Amino acid sequence: MYKGQCLCGKVSINVKGPIDSIIHCHCSKCRKSSGTAYATNGFIQTADLEITSGEEQIAHFETSPGKRRHFCTVCASPVYSSNDLAPEQLRLRLGILDTDIVERPSSHIFVSSRANWDRFDESLSMYDGHEPGRNKAKV
C-alpha cells in the first residue's frame, strides 16, 4: 500500500493497489497545473484510492468536458485526475506519495509541447538540500 498527503497535510490518501503506466507528461495543461516542466502521473483503479482525511478539502477543475483535475483547496496540491469516459480509473499525481513505489516511469509524452528550457543537464551542480549560499528567506 502507498501512502501520501498534500503539501499542507489536510488531504491524506492510501493507494491499495498497483500503479500502472507511469509517464512524465509534458503537455501544456500538466505544465500549467504543476507549475513545472512536466507532471509524473500513474494510473490506479478508482476502487484502490482511499481518502483517509480531508475529502471535504478536495475540489476539482474541469479542464474539458468530463475531465477533472482534483486538488486540495487549502494548499492547491494536485491529487488526481478523473475522466468520465473511464470512471474505473484515476490518474494519480505521484508527487503526492510519501512512500517509495516499486513501479517506474515508462515514457515521456507530449514532448513536442515541452518547455524549451526543459533539459536535464548533468553538467549542472547537484545538491541534496538547498544550493550553497541561498538566502533562506527566499521562497
CB 31 within 8 Å of CB 37: yes
CATH number for 35: 2.170.150.70
* 131 falls within a domain: no
* 137 falls within a domain: no
Please tell me the pTM assigned to this model: 0.86
What pLDDT shows up at residue 120? 67
pLDDT in tens, 127-139: 777 667 766 554 5
DSSP string, the chain: -EEEE-SSSS-EEEE-S--EEEEEE-SHHHHHHHTSS-EEEEEEEGGGEEEEE-GGGEEEEEEETTEEEEEETTT--EEEEEETT-TTEEEEEGGGB-S--S----EEE-GGGS-TT----TTS---SSSPTT--TT--
- Residue 82 structural domain: 2-113
* 47 falls within a domain: yes
Full pLDDT tens readout for the chain, 139 residues:
999 999 999 999 999 999 999 999 998 999 999 899 999 999 999 999 999 999 999 999 999 999 999 999 999 999 999 999 999 999 999 999 999 999 999 889 998 888 988 886 667 676 777 667 766 554 5
What pLDDT shows up at residue 133? 74
* 108 falls within a domain: yes
* 129 falls within a domain: no
CB 14 within 8 Å of CB 1: yes
pLDDT in tens, 47-68: 999 999 999 999 999 999 999 9
**How many angstroms separate the CA atoms of 78 and 96, rounded?**
8
* 134 falls within a domain: no
What pLDDT shows up at residue 126? 67
Domain count, the chain: 1
What is the percent of the chain with per-residue pLDDT over 70, rounded to a whole number? Answer: 91
* 130 falls within a domain: no
